[in-house]
Amino acid sequence: MVEKSKLDEDKEGKAVDPLHYRGMIGTLLYFTASRLDLQFAICMCAKYQARPIEKHLHAVKRIFRYLRGTVNRGLWYPKDSSIALTAFADADHAGCQDTRRSTSGSMQLLGYRLVSWSSKMQKSVAISSTKAKYIALSDCCAQVFWMRSQLIDYALDSTRFQCIVIKKSAIALCCNNVQHSRSKHIDMRYHFIKEHVENEVIELYFVNTEYQLADIFTKALGRERIKFLINKLGMRSFTPETLKQLADEVEE
């Protein structure tokens, strides 16, 4: 999708066949299981299945064209013995043009290998970017706690994990009450993170926007930015030449 592109409902737009549109979305949703670079764009287009219009259809067709040009792309998992859990969480505050709800993006890594990711609209309108990112952080941590419980069941040591966020105020909210006067509106159900920070189960870190890997799940990005992120997340083009190069790297 075009960098910073925003789709909206546009009730005056020319309607298209909803059955055809839903069929295309259904096909694309299968790819989100392995194509993280499609996750945000597909989820954005999926919101308009009730009454799709021409510009929604054009956006979906653009995804198919992108997919055709990157058909050999996939995740590469070289041998790695590390089981350390690391997560990235981010949110695009008030990004939805129709409801002004925010989009949460998160991803979880086992060692340095991406194993889980998510892009979803938040259920309520966040009145501040701190709240939006705090909600994204809580959803991300909930997923990691489930993964952590699975590792414990497998008798693998994973007592703590790192979570990386982009908003310093969200970290401050988890670690102390300095932000209390400006954060009373945040639902208490999200404050379970505080307890785990105090018990040293979660370690929170700030990262600059450039290295926020979850950025790809919250907004439309430019070509160079997407290329940078998917390379960092372990996606490779599996052409014969690339596969040989990757195999040589593993042997080294």
Assigned token pair, 173: 């909210």
Last residue of a domain, one of 46, 71, 96: 71
Contact 106, 136 (CB under 8 A): yes
The larger pLDDT score, comparing residue 252 to residue 111, is at: 111
Work out the average pLDDT over 86-101.
94
What are 209-241's pLDDT values in tens digits? Answer: 899 999 999 999 999 999 999 999 999 999 888
Both 28 and 137 in one domain: the answer is no
Q: DSSP letters of 19-57?
A: HHHHHHHHHHHHHTTT-GGGHHHHHHHHTTSSS-BHHHH
Check whether residue 172 and residue 97 sit in a common domain: yes
CA distance 144 to 71: 30
In a domain, 109, yes or no: yes
Residue whose structure tokens are 């997923």: 143
38 and 63 co-located in one domain = yes
Question: Pick the residue with more confidence: 186 or 245?
Answer: 245
- In angstroms, the CA 229 to CA 149 distance is 28
For range 111-120, the mean pLDDT: 93
In a domain, 24, yes or no: yes
Alpha carbon distance 4, 219 (integer Å)? 7
Between 30 and 186, the higher pLDDT residue: 30
Q: Are residues 24 and 120 both part of a single domain?
A: no
Give per-residue pLDDT as tens, 59-81: 999 999 999 999 999 999 887 66
Nearest by Cα to 46 from 37, 33, 59 = 59
Same domain, 91 and 182: yes
Do 208 and 111 lie in one domain? The reply is yes
Verify that 116 and 41 share a domain, yes or no: no
pLDDT score of 2 more than 60: no
Q: In this structure, is residue 151 part of a structural domain?
A: yes
Q: Residues 133, 204: one domain? A: yes
d(CA 232, CA 236): 10
pTM for the model stands at 0.89
Residue spans of beta strands (DSSP E) within the chain: 73-75, 85-92, 103-110, 113-121, 161-165, 202-206, 235-237
Angle at which helices 129-153 and 168-175 pack, to 10 degrees? 60
Overall number of domains in the chain: 2
Same domain for 93 and 118?
A: yes
CATH number at residue 165: 3.30.420.10
In a domain, 77, yes or no: no
pLDDT at site 5:
66
Q: Is residue 233 part of a domain?
A: no
State the Cα–Cα distance between residues 90 and 32, nearest whole angstrom: 19
Percent of the chain with pLDDT over 70: 87
Residues 170, 109 share a domain: yes
Domain that holds residue 117: 85-215
